[in-house]
Amino acid sequence: MAELLFYEHIDTPGLNTLAGYRRQGGYEMLPRALQMDPGDIVSELLASEVRGRGGAGFAMGKKASFMPKGDMDKYLVCNADESEPGTFKDRELMQKIPHLLIEGMTIAAFAIGASRAFIFIRGEYAHQADVLEAAVEEAKAEGLLGENILGSGFDLELWVHRGAGAYICGEETALLDALEGKRGNPRLKPPFPANQGLYQGPTLINNVETLMNVPHILRLGGERFAEMGVRNSTGTKVVSVSGCVKRPGNYEIELGVPTRDIIYGLAGGPPDGRAVKAWFPGGSSAPVLPGTAEYMDLPYDFDSIAKAGSMLGSGAIIVIDDSISMVDVALKTAKFYRHESCGKCTPCREGCNWTVKMLERVHTGEATPMDLDIMASVCEQIMGNCLCVLGDAMAMPVGSMIKLFREEFEAHIEAARERAGLGVGVPPLPRGPLAGAYPARTVIYAEA
């Protein structure tokens, strides 16, 4: 196991204060960074190959290198609107080591030449926002933020901005709209935020954990950092494990360890007598994977999970054991996205709504297997047809559940039909893209 970057000393008393953070070697990289050439910092980030920890997994150094050079109003925004179901890593990191985020943001802002920075934190994280605000005040009083930081001539104004409860604001352009005081609707891309973001100025947006990696990358050096983890997935990752496990929580791992070590080793596996039926590898937006040994052996890194047909996302593993009905999970997932769709794009707004309605029909036994095909086609038509990926985030997991557990869905429909006295058997209709994918059956309707 490589060294842990965040969790080794995270419970040291007083680490959330400036003095405590300094005792752990905090703010040592900031003066060194301010002596460096900003371009060299970006080169270190590029060499580290660190990928964004918020969900999309885009290389941070590349994103920073897209920022235009020159004298203009540039902005750095930290995305702390952690709302992806199953994800809670940023909450613990911000609460316990707020100064690491501030140091990382100051270095990143210096590297891209931003003079204003904002931490957009979700409104529900009241305690964490209080901790951050206190930390910002402390840093300002010590001259680590504000004008002429540590005598380098670099100015940075940093504010903590609380959101007000909207999942969509985790999407970077919706976050910018929310930060500008509007309804959080995603924007058309391009222009990308690096060219035209907050207040029409070039803007770099990064996740909390990504920015917290910046001081560590400078301390270790980009190439040394890149040795951690595996190829194309460098460094460590804080994984949030939740659901049907014995010890849910945040665990820092080196990318590329087998998934089994996380779910069974660190989190203790499912309760005794139960087995893992399926798991979300990266928050509720990721397609589910089965809990078979083959998938438990998957290395937990960006590329391996993508190759298996899902995504690492925000690194949130939700474990579903065999006592849970997949129909319930699908309905719960779809309802969440229906509630959180901002309503701007029709495929997402209507697609999420109708998927919920069809899943409710499945639940009450009023559906036929054809509804499963319709749902699959609705999901296909949402993907890639909206401004942002919220609709895709509903379509991918629900579509994968229907694909992987189709027999369970069909059995659920039949059982519910019988319970409701609606008749026995389900009429398969020879229509739709997946017609013929399941065997035809004799249909016997209940006597009227």
Partner 1 sequence: MSTDPAHRLAPLVPRFRHGSRVPGWDDAADLTKAPAVLPDPATTPVPDDLRAEIEGYMARYPDRRSAAIPSLFAAQRLHGWCSPTAIEQVAVVMRLTPAYLTAVATFYDMFETHPKGRHTVYVCTNISCALRGGDHVYEAMLSAAGDDPDFNVRSFECLGACDIAPMASVEGEYVGPLTEEDCAQIVADLREGREVLPDKQLRRRPRAVDLPMGDGLPTAGGTAPIAEGPTAAGNDVRGEKDM
Between CA 374 and CA 307 the distance in angstroms is 26
Q: How many residues bind partner 1 (CB under 8 A)?
A: 80
Asked if 263 interacts with partner 1 (CB under 8 A), we say no
Least Cα distance to 329 among 363, 301, 375 occurs for 363
Q: Smallest gap, in angstroms, from Cβ of residue 447 to partner 1? A: 27
Q: Smallest gap, in angstroms, from Cβ of residue 243 to partner 1? A: 5
Give the interface segment with partner 1, choosing from 146-154, 255-263, 271-279, 384-392 (CB under 8 A).
271-279
Token pair recorded at residue 227: 């040795």
Contact 155, 113 (CB under 8 A): no
Among the listed residues 114, 156, 208, 266, the single contact to partner 1 using CB under 8 A: 266
Name residues contacting partner 1, limited to 103-142 (CB under 8 A).
Answer: 116, 122-127
Among the listed residues 156, 318, 378, 387, the single contact to partner 1 using CB under 8 A: 318
Among the listed residues 14, 191, 271, 433, the single contact to partner 1 using CB under 8 A: 271
Q: Smallest gap, in angstroms, from Cβ of residue 221 to partner 1? A: 27
Q: Tell me how far the alpha carbon of residue 389 is from its chain's centroid.
A: 12
Name residues contacting partner 1, limited to 212-241 (CB under 8 A).
Answer: 240
Strands 75-80 and 249-254: unpaired
Q: Smallest gap, in angstroms, from Cβ of residue 359 to partner 1? A: 8
Name residues contacting partner 1, limited to 9-28 (CB under 8 A).
Answer: 10-11
Asked if 359 interacts with partner 1 (CB under 8 A), we say yes
318 forms bridges with which residues in the sheet? 242, 280
Phi, psi of 268 (to 5 degrees): 85, -5
Q: Smallest gap, in angstroms, from Cβ of residue 87 to partner 1? A: 7
Q: Smallest gap, in angstroms, from Cβ of residue 244 to partner 1? A: 6
Name residues contacting partner 1, limited to 366-425 (CB under 8 A).
Answer: none
Contact 314, 87 (CB under 8 A): yes
Among residues 32 and 127, whose Cβ is nearest to partner 1? 127
**Which residues neighbour 407 within 8 Å (Cβ) at sequence distance 6 or greater?**
none
Name residues contacting partner 1, limited to 184-213 (CB under 8 A).
Answer: 184, 199
Name residues contacting partner 1, limited to 77-106 (CB under 8 A).
Answer: 82-88, 90-92, 95
Asked if 282 interacts with partner 1 (CB under 8 A), we say no
Q: Using the CB atoms, write b or e for 67-85: b if 16+ within 10 Å.
A: beeeeeebbbbbbbbbbbb
How far from 170 is each of 8, 75, 186, 377, 427, CA to CA, in Å? Answer: 28, 17, 10, 27, 42
Among the listed residues 167, 302, 405, 409, the single contact to partner 1 using CB under 8 A: 167
Q: Tell me if residue 121 falls in helix, strand or coil.
A: strand
Between CA 443 and CA 74 the distance in angstroms is 66
Asked if 38 interacts with partner 1 (CB under 8 A), we say no
Asked if 275 interacts with partner 1 (CB under 8 A), we say no
Between CA 165 and CA 327 the distance in angstroms is 27
Asked if 259 interacts with partner 1 (CB under 8 A), we say no
Asked if 355 interacts with partner 1 (CB under 8 A), we say no
